[in-house]
Structure 1
Amino acid sequence: MRATIKNYMDAMQRRREELGEEDDKGFSLIELIIVVVILGILVAIAVPIFINIQATAEANALEAAAANGATAAAAALADPDATVTPTAAAASAGSNGITTALVTAGGLSTDVSNVCVSATKDGTTVQSGPGC
């Protein structure tokens, strides 16, 4: 078996020497260009998808902040032992740039069914609660 492989390798070496071929190592320019083009196509497809995912996540975070604020404000109104009226602080959204505020129509209502909280980020506002 070793002799067969050695004979084959020697024959290949002689053939290369006769034809003047050099050892081809590495990739050709065409192969590299094709790889770059394929990567470019993949990036062109992936970037818009990632941007859309980010926009959807921000919208969902805004809706969640408004819903959490409405829940907190309704809980503060429903607590018979609470002496604090619900405020925008009760509907805090954290440090992600979302600001929340308790929406009052004609003054603060003590009825849980009239609670409405708005959440705002970058000019987009979402309201949540049974009174919206």
Structure 2
Amino acid sequence: MRTIQAYLEAAKERRENGESGFSLVELIVVVVILGILAAVAIPIFIGIQDQAEQSAVDAAAANMASQAVANLANPDSAGAHGVPASKDGIAYTVAPASPTITNVCVTAAKDGKTASKGPGCA
């Protein structure tokens, strides 16, 4: 209790003498609060980034599955599914070996994240 009284008296004396600025204690408190906020926020931001990467792979797989079904329904080159092996750093695989519009399944993979989309996916 005496420490708080001494602090308040010192703060009052500073104001009376016209001194302005922050005390060392006030600055340390602010730094500690900022450190706690950073410690809480960094894991949250990392989790958001992982979710965004997974969503990108999900969307890429869905887009390629749509492209495969469209190419199988209206073949331009003798029934080819039209899905590239990779694009924009994402690797694609198509199953089965001879897909049809009802059983095609496209799997996309990037940096350990995978997603499978299409009517033939389980």
TM-score normalised per structure 1: 0.71
What corresponds to 2:91 in structure 1?
Answer: 99
Q: CA deviation at 1:26?
A: 1.4
Q: How many residues align?
A: 106
Quote the Cα distance in structure 1 between the aligned partners of 2:27 and 2:39: 18
Q: Which residue of 85, 104, 110 maps to 1:115?
A: 104
Q: Which has the larger radius of gyration?
A: 1
For residue 95 of structure 2, what is the amino acid of its counterpart? V
**Which runs of 4 or more aligned residues in structure 1 lie more than 3 Å from their structure 2 counterparts after TM superposition?**
none
Q: CA RMSD in A?
A: 2.1
Q: Does 1:79 align with 2:74?
A: yes
Q: Is the 8 A contact 1:65 1:100 kept in 2?
A: no
More strand by share: 2
Q: CA deviation at 1:100?
A: 1.5
Deviation per residue, 1:10-46 (Å, 9 max, x gap): xxxxxx8xxxx75422110001001101111111121
| Sequence identity percentage | 52
SS at match of 1:102: strand
Q: Which residue of 43, 48, 61 maps to 1:48?
A: 43
Q: CA deviation at 1:103?
A: 2.1
SS at match of 1:25: coil
Q: CA deviation at 1:74?
A: 0.3
Q: Is the 8 A contact 2:66 2:118 kept in 1?
A: yes
For residue 114 of structure 2, what is the amino acid of its counterpart? T
SS at match of 1:63: helix
